[in-house]
Structure 1
Amino acid sequence: MSSKPQTSQTGELEFPSEYFFSTEIPIRKIDLSLDIHVSFASVLDLVMEAHLQFFQYLGYSVTDIHGNSIIFANASIQYQGELLFKDKVIIDVSLNNLGEKSFDLYFRLSKKNRTEKVSLVKIRVLFFDYKERKVVPIPSEFRKKFEGGKFVKQPSPEIGKGSENILGPDGFVFGFRKLEVWNLSHVFLLHLYELCETWKDKVEPSLIEHIKSISSLLPVRIAGAWGTRIRSEKVKNILRAKVHLEELRYLLILVADLGEVDPSQELDDLQTINSHLKKYLNKVRTGETRKIR
């Protein structure tokens, strides 16, 4: 990957200039050391939670990434500020330095809408085959997702005074953009739009426009489900999103059957999005949706 790092003020760690994912985690009493501030161990716990959410966002389980697992080789932590009870820590996640068998995960922790620094963490990650009990090369499918630009990168905002206005009033990670299923569908949409450009000479223009039109409705319906506080309306929007997903699945199958292009990876991606839609629908029906913001 070619993301240039941002130089930290201390020069000890650097966070890449672009990142892939953000999450927000509230600080609990149990996270505090001596009932004062977040402990060393709790910072690592927060990072572990963020890394699990990141891989779920990518559509993976950390124990099954194209048949392999990941392990941590080493970690570097730079502390920059306190986390107190009821703080909401924003964790930006970036992936960089894809090598033959390893890559680096970066975690930048901040609070108060990114106006206060908390810490920087860098972890060297290896792919590991537990059957063979050895480190293995990074799966080509995993590498292609990043080197091919499939996952959209966000410019990393500055941390500090004035940064609260860089990403708008919700600071990127709040509202519907916090939903894993919305992020997956949004990234899928951007990828599909790029893919449609490469299909122009192979697929009927009217079919391409229909694919683009249907795909754009998928994240729209998910955002609509988040936006309403009426449960029945939430359910309707999610079910409409599932209808659009199935329509899109058929259109991609049609493109494949016409024999001009191969959208097999995109069909797999729709399976992942559908799985997350089912989870979101279940949360709505059990009244848990407002816990995921």
Structure 2
Amino acid sequence: MPRKTIDLPDHFLFETHYDVLYTDVNAANHLGADRLLSIAMEAQLRFIRQLGHGQAIAFEDAGLIMAHAETAYLAEADYGDRLRVELGAREVEEKSFQFVYRISKDDSSVEVARVATTLLFFDYPSRRVVPVPEDFRARVTGTAEEPPWRG
């Protein structure tokens, strides 16, 4: 079976750091692959807060829901390692988009993992998927007049 790779976006919109916790470590004494999605979701929430929204559920008059996720574990990380999590957007369509995350060791730049999530904007009261808001589209595609964010 050929190995699938997660392609990185042309540029990253946001960067934050994450310290590997004891609860992130598995029986083999390194970062568990099952924790990668949680680390990515933490970075996503930090990015959304940088955009001025207090919580993901009240974002742009709709919530974000995840339709698909992929992870690629590339190198081990250990308890206490400081990770740099970079977030970028790609494939911004009418009703969906992807966030792509590159997770690296902060001290050596060794790439630990890549994560890709396909997200939809969802109107909870009407229980339906809604189009990607134009303001959000402009901000993540680089057509808005604002610099990249750091968290």
TM (normalized to structure 2)?
0.88
Q: Aligned to 1:44, which of 37, 42, 65?
A: 37
Q: Which amino acid in structure 2 is aligned with residue 53 of structure 1?
A: R
Counterpart amino acid of 2:11?
E
Q: Which runs of 5+ in 2 are unaligned?
A: none
Residue 76 (structure 1) aligns with: 70
Shift of 1:150: 2.7
Q: 123, 131, 150: which one pairs with 1:129?
A: 123
Q: Quick one: distance in 1 between partners of 2:35 and 2:19? A: 12
Contact 2:20 2:82 (8 Å CA) reproduced: yes
Q: 2:15 aligns with which of 22, 31, 48?
A: 22
Pick aligned residue for 1:33 from 9, 26, 33:
26
For 1:113 and 1:16, the matched residues in 2 are separated by 23
Quote the offset at 1:134 in angstroms. Answer: 1.0
Q: Is the 8 A contact 1:78 1:121 kept in 2?
A: yes
> Equivalent of 1:111, from 105, 116, 121?
105
Deviation readout 1:228-258 (Å, 9 max, x if unpaired): xxxxxxxxxxxxxxxxxxxxxxxxxxxxxxx
Query: Deviation of residue 139 (structure 1)?
Result: 1.6
Q: Is the 8 A contact 2:13 2:140 kept in 1?
A: no
Residue 114 of structure 1 and its aligned partner are, at CA, apart by 5.1
RMSD: 1.9
Give the match for residue 5 of structure 2: 12
In structure 2, distance between residues paired with 1:112 and 1:132 = 43
Q: TM-score scaled by structure 1?
A: 0.47
In the alignment, the residues of structure 2 paired with residue 146 and residue 94 of structure 1 have an alpha-carbon distance, to the nearest angstrom, of 8
* Matched-pair contact (CA < 8 Å) for 1:105–1:122: yes
- Cα distance change of structure 1 residues 35 and 17 upon mapping to structure 2, 3 Å threshold: same
Letter of the 1:71 partner, please give it: I
Q: Residues 20 and 113 of structure 1: is their aligned pair in 2 closer, same or farther, counting only changes over 3 Å? A: farther
Task: Kindly indicate which of the two structures has a greater share of residues assigned to helix.
Answer: 1
Q: Which structure 1 residue ranges, 5 or more long, are not aligned?
A: 1-9, 154-176, 181-293
Deviation of the 1:47 alpha carbon: 1.0
Q: Deviations over 1:19-38 (max 9, x none)?
A: 11111111111111126011
The percent of aligned pairs where both chains have the same amino acid is: 27
Q: Equivalents in 2 of 1:66, 1:44: separation in Å?
A: 23
Partner of 1:101: 95
Regions of 4+ moved over 4 Å: none
Residue 56 (str. 1) matches residue 49 (str. 2): yes
Q: Offset at 1:122?
A: 0.5
Secondary structure at 1:63 match in 2: helix
Cα separation, partners in 2 of 1:146 and 1:12, compared to 1, 3 Å: closer
Pairwise CA distance, 1:131: 0.7
Q: Who is 2:59 aligned against? A: 65
Higher strand share: 2
- Bigger relative contact order (CA 8 A; separation at least 6): 2
